[in-house]
Amino acid sequence: MKKRISDSIRRVDAFDKAGGITKYISDMDFEDLQYGRLVRALRSHARIKSIKSPKLPDGYYFITKDDIPTGGKNEIQQISNDWPVFVKDEVLFYGETVGMLVGPDRQKILDLEDAISIEYEELEEAFSIDEGLALKSGKIYGEDNCYGDYHLNKGDVKKGFAEAVTVFEEEINTGYQEHVYMEPQGLVGYYENGKYVIIASSQCPFYIKKAISPVLNTDQDNIVIKQATTGGAFGGKEHFPDIIAAPLAVAVDVIRKPIQVVFDRKEDLSFTAKRHPSRGIFRTGLDAKGNIVAMDVDVTINAGAYMSCSNIVLQRAIFSINSVYDIANVHVHGRSVATNAFPSDAFRGFGAPQGLFLAEMHMSHIARNLGISPVEYKRRYFMKKGDTTITNGIMHDEVKLEEMLEKVYAAGSIEEKLAEYTPGSGRGIGISFYQHGAGFTGNGEQEIIKAKLKMLKHGDGNVEILLSNVEMGQGLQTTFPKIAAQVLEIPIEMISCDNPDTSKVPNSGPTVASRSLMVVGKLVERASRELKERWDEDEEVEVLVNYIHPEGCEWDQATLQGDAYPTYGWGVCAIEVEVDPATAEVETKGIWTAHDVGVAIDEMIVHGQVNGGVIQALGYGSLEKLDYKDGKFQQNTLADYIIPTSMDFPMMSSQLIENPYENGPFGAKGLGELVFDGGASAFADAVEYAIGKKVYKIPVTPEYIMEVKNRD
């Protein structure tokens, strides 16, 4: 009998990784390797008056903007190009790159770094969302410091509010979060056969290529990016490697020797981008029966000193602001605000975790005000197939939240427990619902990415899959070949899918937005089918496939109207907690989840994603406090930035629901981010239940719980 695609197999990369054989960027050997260290401006907002550097010994370089090749631009080509390679004149955030010291001996580099002195003229600083909006430090971006300023309208809010008998207002906030990929940022650059080569621990090799080409003033064909096995990324290696690659490329152009830039942990914690902090201000109108008749939400995110991908993060945040609920009349105002904070960037979920947290807490709070259980209240509004989405598109999915909720209740004996614990008793259960639009927003795949993929059958019958998506722990080097093996009916050992090299693979797009398995995996499936048909055509067969946009998915990017996503993953998460009366420490007693990811390509890999994602989200919701003060992240060691250990949370229950998506391979949908989306709000909800008071922000630390308990 043919095996089900979901049946688990051993990951192809597991053995070499567990044996310590796999080489990561800092494990690689290069002849005559030089070390690069970024020299930073240690002011949040200032004009640089002068930079004095010591006399450099032979073989040492201080690379600055003056070294950018003729015709090259001091701009990193990302989604926007406002982030410069080296500070132009004005420093806009603490830690901005001024230059790069390069040389063979690291101690000498440190000594040289100490001897560099930068003179500044200090300028006014703006760090918070409100300070940014008030132009406290002047105009960082445009006229109003808003990189993005969007409105969404569904139904008729005005009319809705006219029907309201009460209006409930509140503000909810989420904090920064650091990725803590266990392998810090790292790249190596060199010059070979007339080409600039960068080996990178990254998610998007083609992004780097595009980012540095205008800096070097060279055609993209002269740049080769090779993917190094990546020790975790979570969005932190989506755009940020560009920021290192650009000065590195300039250094390579000057020095023409292999140069390694690997951050150490403190540097990584202090000077890399984080998840956007967010604020939601809700005004919700209720009728006499407590039904929601209108909702007006103001969402702002702290984007920091450069735009990077903040507007797309903002879009996801506002698209998620009704969570899994169909609310009839809604207006959302969303702004991504420029400040002198470190630029915020992509992080697993990309704005959705923020939007969903705000939404879930607000819905729970309305229910609690009405004296109704949050679950009962939320169920009334569950989105159903055919309903209108917040962007006035159509929900094409069969929504199976009820079934999932039932499974979670059964696994956790939730009913019985809720009957036993009373609110404020110190024990509580929180339940969150969530969805994640899989893949790029709207028609991004069609308009921007245009993924291509190649498959080769070699003379020996082995098959090679050529694409640009990277293995960063999520299992693609297993799941892509597994899809091909299932279609081709050959053993997976005959199929390879190696770390991409941009000079060899077609651009199948970045490894982001939970798109890889669903979108690119579909291309693998299609290419495999074609290859199967043409298998006997020749000794060697090459198949090339292009992305095809699903039918019935209309989107207008200018107005943000239509089907924002072709399909959604769905989740339910229940958390049980006990709050210590003396210390307000929270013991998590149980975690039960159910997810609809279409069809699991490999159940073990999916459960691994669920487990990792939920724990990371629980860290976000409970432990991972990251304060920004005077331009600096205050928790800049792993002793102070607290992520979960093996002892912080209990082992969890993870169930899957099958709900095949026709445009995904074997019915699979995106899931990598979905599994992050519900942990924080379930935790906060559980704490609210346990202490009998409302919480308005994450992380819900013992300090904050104590503060809330002292309230009134």
Partner 1 sequence: MTEIAFVLNNKKISVEAEGATRLLDILREDLGLTAVKEGCGEGECGACSVLKDGLLVNSCMVPIGTVAGCSIETLEGLRNSDEGRCIIDAFADSGAVQCGFCTPGMVMASIALLRVNAHPTIDEIKVGLSGNLCRCTGYDMIIKGVQLASERGEGIW
Partner 2 sequence: MVKTFHPRTLEEALKIRKDEKAIPLAGGTDLMVRFRSWAGTQPDFPWPVMFINHLSEIRYIDIQPKEIRIGAGATLSEVEQCSEVPKVLRTAVSQMAAPALRNLGTVAGNICNASPAGDTISVLYALNARVELTSLHGARQISIMEFISGPGRKDLGDDEIMTAVMIPIESFTHTLYRKVGTRKANALSKLSFCGLAKIKAGRIDDIRLSFGAVGPTVVRSVETEKKLIGLSIEKLKELYSEIRPDYVAMVQPIDDQRSTAVYRKQVSLNLLDQYIESLTMES
Which residues of the chain form contacts with partner 1 (CB under 8 A)?
A: 8, 10-11, 13-24, 26-27, 29, 179-184, 229-234, 264-266, 472-475, 604-605, 607-608, 610-616, 637-639, 643-647, 649, 651-652
CA separation for the pair 705, 692 (Å, rounded): 11
Strand locations in 12-56 (E): 34-41, 46-52
Q: 575: exposed, middle or buried (C-beta count within 10 Å: 0-12, 13-18, 19+)?
A: buried
- The reply to whether 627 sits near partner 2 by the rule CB under 8 A is yes
Q: Which is nearer to ligand FES, 516 or 663 (CB)?
A: 516
Look at residue 419 and give the partner it binds from ligand FES, partner 2, partner 1, none, a contact being a CB closer than 5 to 8 Å depending on partner kind.
Answer: none
Nearest distance, CB of residue 182 and ligand FES, angstroms: 4
Distances (CA, A) of 435 to 6, 314, 316: 22, 16, 11
Count residues near partner 2 (CB under 8 A).
Answer: 31
Nearest distance, CB of residue 643 and partner 2, angstroms: 8
CA separation for the pair 466, 524 (Å, rounded): 9
Q: What tokens appear for 231 in the block?
A: 């020790």
- The reply to whether 43 sits near partner 2 by the rule CB under 8 A is no
Nearest distance, CB of residue 692 and partner 2, angstroms: 18
- The reply to whether 634 sits near partner 2 by the rule CB under 8 A is yes
Question: What is the sign, positive or negative, of the torsion defined by CA atoms of 461, 466, 472, 474?
Answer: negative
Q: Which is nearer to partner 2, 35 or 191 (CB)?
A: 35
Q: What tokens appear for 457 in the block?
A: 């059958």
From 256, 232, 206, select the one nearest 467 (Cα to Cα). Answer: 206
- The reply to whether 264 sits near partner 2 by the rule CB under 8 A is yes
CA separation for the pair 317, 560 (Å, rounded): 13
Residue 21, number of CB atoms within 10 A of its CB: 9
- The reply to whether 642 sits near partner 2 by the rule CB under 8 A is yes
User: How far from the centroid of its chain's Cα atoms is residue 8's Cα?
Assistant: 26
Q: Which is nearer to ligand FES, 135 or 638 (CB)?
A: 638
Give me the helices (H) in 508-602, please: 521-533
Residue 108 CB-half CA count within 13 A = 17
Q: Which is nearer to partner 2, 662 or 707 (CB)?
A: 707
Nearest distance, CB of residue 110 and partner 2, angstroms: 6
Look at residue 239 and give the partner it binds from partner 1, ligand FES, partner 2, none, a contact being a CB closer than 5 to 8 Å depending on partner kind.
Answer: none
The DSSP bridge pattern shows strands 61-63 and 96-103 to be antiparallel
Q: Which is nearer to partner 2, 73 or 693 (CB)?
A: 693
- The reply to whether 698 sits near partner 2 by the rule CB under 8 A is no
Look at residue 71 and give the partner it binds from partner 1, partner 2, ligand FES, none, a contact being a CB closer than 5 to 8 Å depending on partner kind.
Answer: none
Q: Which is nearer to partner 2, 573 or 642 (CB)?
A: 642
Binding residue for partner 2 (CB under 8 A) from 262, 513, 518, 574?
262
- The reply to whether 110 sits near partner 2 by the rule CB under 8 A is yes
Look at residue 23 and give the partner it binds from partner 2, partner 1, ligand FES, none, a contact being a CB closer than 5 to 8 Å depending on partner kind.
Answer: partner 1
Q: Which is nearer to partner 1, 310 or 477 (CB)?
A: 477
Q: What tokens appear for 636 in the block?
A: 């800049």
- Using CB under 6 A, list all residues that contact ligand FES: 182, 232, 473
Look at residue 558 and give the partner it binds from partner 1, partner 2, ligand FES, none, a contact being a CB closer than 5 to 8 Å depending on partner kind.
Answer: none
Q: Which is nearer to ligand FES, 103 or 473 (CB)?
A: 473
Residues in Cβ contact with 598 at an 8 Å cutoff, skipping those fewer than 6 apart: 518, 567, 569, 658, 659, 660, 661, 664, 667, 668, 669
Nearest distance, CB of residue 698 and partner 2, angstroms: 16
φ/ψ region of 341 (left if φ > 0, alpha if ψ in -120 to 50, else beta) reads beta
Q: Which is nearer to partner 2, 554 or 703 (CB)?
A: 703
Look at residue 707 and give the partner it binds from ligand FES, partner 2, partner 1, none, a contact being a CB closer than 5 to 8 Å depending on partner kind.
Answer: partner 2
Q: Which is nearer to ligand FES, 22 or 153 (CB)?
A: 22
CA separation for the pair 316, 110 (Å, rounded): 42
Residues in Cβ contact with 575 at an 8 Å cutoff, skipping those fewer than 6 apart: 429, 430, 431, 588, 590, 591, 618, 679, 682, 683, 685, 686
Residues in Cβ contact with 201 at an 8 Å cutoff, skipping those fewer than 6 apart: 24, 25, 183, 185, 186, 187, 228, 229, 230, 231, 233, 237, 241
Look at residue 110 and give the partner it binds from partner 2, partner 1, ligand FES, none, a contact being a CB closer than 5 to 8 Å depending on partner kind.
Answer: partner 2
Binding residue for partner 2 (CB under 8 A) from 583, 658, 660, 662?
583
Starting at the edge strand that comes first in sequence, how are the strands of the sheet with 90-91 ordered?
Answer: 90-91, 46-52, 117-122
- The reply to whether 106 sits near partner 2 by the rule CB under 8 A is yes
Binding residue for partner 2 (CB under 8 A) from 155, 423, 426, 644?
644
CA separation for the pair 240, 318 (Å, rounded): 24
Look at residue 35 and give the partner it binds from partner 1, ligand FES, partner 2, none, a contact being a CB closer than 5 to 8 Å depending on partner kind.
Answer: partner 2
Q: 42: exposed, middle or buried (C-beta count within 10 Å: 0-12, 13-18, 19+)?
A: middle
Q: Which is nearer to partner 2, 287 or 648 (CB)?
A: 648
Q: Which is nearer to partner 2, 26 or 373 (CB)?
A: 26
Q: Which is nearer to partner 2, 624 or 673 (CB)?
A: 624
Q: Is the distance from CB of 515 to CB of 663 less than 8 angstroms? A: no
Q: Map the footprint of partner 2 across residues 4-33, applying CB under 8 A.
A: 26
Residue 51, number of CB atoms within 10 A of its CB: 16
Residues in contact with partner 2 by CB under 8 A are 26, 35, 37, 106-107, 109-110, 262, 264, 581-585, 623, 627, 634-635, 639-640, 642, 644-648, 702-703, 706-707, 710
